[in-house]
Structure 1
Amino acid sequence: MHGERFRTIEGIVMAADSSRSFSPLEKFGQGFLERLVGIEMPHKLLERVTFVDTPGIIENRKQQERGYPYNDVCQWFIDRADLIFLVFDPTKLDVGGELEMLFRQMKGRESQIRLILNKADSLSTQDLMRVYGALFWSMAPLVNVTEPPRVYVSSFWPQDYAPDTSRELFMKEEISLLEDLNQVIENQIENKIAFIRQHAIRVRIHALLVDRYLQTYYDRLGWFGDPCEVFQDIVNDPDKYYIFKSILAKTNVSKFDLPAKEAYQDFFGVNPISNFKQLSQLCGWTDGCLLEKIEKAISHELPALLSSITKSSEVPASAKTAPAPPPPLPGTCEGPECGEKPKNRWRKQ
């Protein structure tokens, strides 16, 4: 994180400080807070972004050996992340249960995922091509999207690249990664609004489906029928009762946004049907209906908010000035005062 000076902060202090946003982490227990460490340093980039480094994937050990609920903690940070980097070592491309669980947790956030193939200068060009292909092969079953995530190939550490490697490629990849990060920072507010709208659409679809299950249940429930058997039949075979087709027919819902039918078998197995009311019962004379409010937000309010932010960020052509020249690349030096190029790409020796 950004700070006026370089210092480390213990997790228990971060969680106890009300001025920070880490107090909810206390719910994961003191065992986790003892392992959490924050680092502050004065850096321009950190004024606009905070980096979270999670522990590496453990495929041959049990979760309990970490001493805290690893997946739950990761989910907390995933829900608040604008960009997710998955860093791979070229010698460790194993895909196991823990990595598969993380990808399940990131479902719906595939556009935020970036893959990093680190330590690329430790391989020859031919071996690097093989590892690159193997990484895609391993990730394909986990990232269930048409367009795979962007992969950055380089050696992300302060030392100079190993000799006789693709130095120019690695440097371009690092610059591309920084440009990607900067683009996310610039569009942070717009991305938040778009994500809220995306989440609102899913909430609306879920509410419509649950309401349809309830309506079908009450329609099929007779005087002498067993309520459990009636509802179980509906959940097990929703197509027989046109549960999902009725949603597509009556509302502007895309069939590609509908969740899997099996998901509602699990959902109603945990949440009894008696916990829910029909949407028609959630309308008031003064407050209106909840469904109408969320539809208004999806169709009008959130797009209008996004449009207003986009317009406010535009600069008139007459007010535009020539852009400042970009800073020199890390490890490069410009001007007559520059001598021999330092070994460290990020700072002079």
Structure 2
Amino acid sequence: MDVIPIDYETLRLIWWALLGVLLIGFAIMGGMDLGVGTLLPAVARTDEERRVLLNLIGPTWEGNQVWLVLGGGAIFAAFPPLYAVSFSGFYLAMIVILLALILRPVGFKFRGKIADKRWRDTWDWALFIGGFVPALIFGVAVGNVLLGAPFDLDRTLRPSYLGNFFGLLTPFALLCGLVSLGMLVTIGASIIAKRTEGVIAERATRYGQWSALGTIALFALGGVWIAFGIDGYVITSAVVTDLPSNPLAKRVELVPGGWMANYSTYPWMIVAPVLGFAGMALAWLGLRIKRNLLALLASGVGIFGIVSTAGLSLFPFLLPSSHNPTASLTLWDASSSQLTLFIMLVATVIFMPIILAYTSWVYKVISGPVTTKSLSRNPNAY
């Protein structure tokens, strides 16, 4: 291990941060697509208007899935126990998300095959489901992580999940789902307002203002609920950060307001919720005064702050166990080996700049407005 230039503790921290970056990247980039899909029936009323929205996200939605794939891959390779518990325990929820996401490529490709109103309306609603359902359930998943998942580990570290799909739909988890839905609708409305014109942009502006204010209110309610109504998980034994992973080699207890402890230990973490509130407030203001670029950038900052708030509140936990708190998974005891994390980091340093450069180039190329006139000039438009 002496040949590895980065110590085990630092590598674990780096991969915890990189996992957060990938999830935030998907929430912002993929969130624009999910938000536009959710707004499709409300913002676009005619076939031409809906074609404008489809061609707004058509060139980029597939590429934005890279962030989701990379996030799942990072969990699989960097934190295998987390992958084993979450992808098996939340299996039905994952299937619902995947089925909803599958509706999007099918809807994009099939909608224009037949010039029939009922046919196209059916696929428009499929595209709405493909945006609304993942946006909601991703937030529900985060809510259940904060509550703790009902799983246990035996002495050989083999996981067993003791819950069911409907047990995930608790009031607090649904509140988190609504926060997720609100912030993604806000960024979706912002990109519509930025890159379309006329009545479509006006409707998007109106819905975006409502969703931004709703997100602020729901995010505040969630913070109060976590502080005063939900017990948080705290490691009560010595924290060992550089030994081989063994989740059972620690003690964990539930403590009232435990998820707020990090903000006392690390005061700088308060920046995350501040950015969440400020970003959504600026997004509302930008839409209100027709500064749509400001609204788009601010909604991205708001999403960054809200997602970061959840991750920093959980630190160092990745997935607490409500059945047996000692079995909870943390970044210190649920990671791959030091060598694996280092090799993955080298690959990330090489390929992440390529992904960012290509994404930036694509958005620069398609930065112009999408209108019914521009569709008429594009033979490849949806």
Higher Cα radius of gyration: 1
Task: Choose between structure 1 and 2: higher helix proportion.
Answer: 2
Flag the structure with more relative contact order, 1 or 2, with Cα contacts below 8 A and sequence separation at least 6: 2
TM-score range, shorter chain: under 0.3
TM-score (norm: length of structure 2): 0.26
